[in-house]
C-alpha cells in the first residue's frame, strides 16, 4: 500500500516514499483503479496504438477496467505503472509478459503514454529499471521484445540498453494503411550483468 499524508479535499494525495522499483528520475509501482481514466485515454490514442502494435479499435471504460483486472491476475505477467519521482505523475506502463518460469524467459512491453515525457531519455531508464527487476529479482535468463522496424527511436533505446536483433517478421503488421516489418530483439542476463559491471568500472 502507498502511504499518504493527510490532505484536504483540494490537495492531491502523494506518496511520502515511492514504492516498487526506483530509478533515478522515475519509479515503477502498481496501477490502481484511480489511474483507469488515464489508461482509457492512452488506449484510445490511435497514434500510440500504432507505435506499440496495438489494434486500432476504440476501447470502452469498462473494457479498460477489465483489462487491468485480467492483467493483474495473470500469474505469468508483472504489470507496472511508470511514475515520475518529482510529481508522482503516472506517465506510462511497463510489463513483463508470457513469463516462462521453467525456461526463465519473458517478453518486455512498455510505452510512455504522456507525449510531453517522450524523447527525454526516460525510455532508457524504464528499460534499465525493468531489466534489473526481471534479471535480479525474478532470476529470468532472457528477455525479448518486438518493435516496428520504422520505430527508430525505440530501436536505438533498446540497443543502448543491450538488446540485439534476433530476427525480423517481414510485412507482419498492418499499420496505418500498410504492412510493416517488426524486429525481434533480446538480451540475456549474462550480457546485462556484463554491461552493469562495465558501467560501474
CB 58 within 8 A of CB 40: no
User: Cα(147)–Cα(4) distance, rounded to whole angstroms?
Assistant: 38
Q: How many Å apart are CA 53 and CA 32, to the nearest integer? A: 24
In the structure, what pLDDT confidence band is assigned to residue 6 with cuts at 50, 70 and 90?
A: very low
- pLDDT tens profile 86-143: 899 999 999 999 999 999 999 999 999 999 999 888 999 999 999 999 999 999 999 9
Dihedral (CA of 120, 139, 182, 163) sign: positive
Question: pTM for the full model?
Answer: 0.86
Cell of 101: 518460469
Active site annotation includes 158: yes
Catalytic residue (one of 40, 111, 133, 158)? 158
Question: At 176, is the pLDDT very low, low, confident or very high (cuts 50, 70, 90)?
Answer: confident
Domains of the chain: residue spans and CATH? 21-200 (3.40.630.30)
Q: Which helix (H) or strand (E) holds 142?
A: strand 142-148
Q: How confident is the model at residue 201 (pLDDT cuts 50, 70, 90)?
A: low
pLDDT tens, 69-78? Answer: 999 999 999 9
Q: Give alpha helix (H) positions in 25-151.
A: 36-43, 46-51, 61-73, 122-132
CA atoms within 13 A on the CB side of 200: 6
pLDDT band for 145, please (50, 70, 90 cuts). very high
Rounded Cα distance between 92 and 28, Å, is 9
Q: Are 27 and 125 in contact (CB under 8 A)?
A: no
CA nearest neighbour of 99 among 55, 132, 140, 50: 140
Amino acid at each position: 500500500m502507498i502511504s499518504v499524508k493527510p490532505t484536504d479535499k483540494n490537495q492531491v494525495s502523494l506518496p511520502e516514499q515511492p514504492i516498487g522499483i526506483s530509478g533515478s528520475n522515475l519509479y515503477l509501482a502498481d496501477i490502481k483503479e484511480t489511474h483507469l481514466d488515464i489508461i482509457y485515454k492512452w488506449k484510445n490514442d490511435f497514434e500510440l496504438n500504432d507505435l506499440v502494435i496495438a489494434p486500432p479499435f476504440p476501447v470502452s471504460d469498462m473494457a479498460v477496467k477489465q483489462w487491468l483486472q485480467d492483467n493483474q491476475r495473470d500469474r505469468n505477467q508483472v504489470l507496472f505503472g511508470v511514475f515520475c519521482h518529482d510529481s508522482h505523475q503516472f506517465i506510462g506502463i511497463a510489463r513483463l509478459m508470457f513469463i516462462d518460469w521453467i525456461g526463465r524467459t519473458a517478453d518486455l512491453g512498455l510505452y510512455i503514454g504522456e507525449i510531453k515525457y517522450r524523447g527525454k531519455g526516460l525510455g532508457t531508464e524504464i528499460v534499465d529499471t525493468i531489466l534489473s527487476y526481471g534479471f535480479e529479482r525474478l532470476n529470468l535468463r532472457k528477455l525479448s521484445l518486438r518493435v516496428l522496424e520504422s520505430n527508430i527511436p525505440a530501436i536505438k533505446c533498446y540497443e543502448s540498453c543491450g538488446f540485439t536483433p534476433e530476427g525480423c517478421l517481414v510485412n507482419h503488421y498492418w499499420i496505418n494503411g500498410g504492412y510493416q516489418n517488426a524486429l525481434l530483439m533480446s538480451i540475456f542476463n549474462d550480457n546485462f550483468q556484463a554491461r552493469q559491471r562495465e558501467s560501474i568500472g
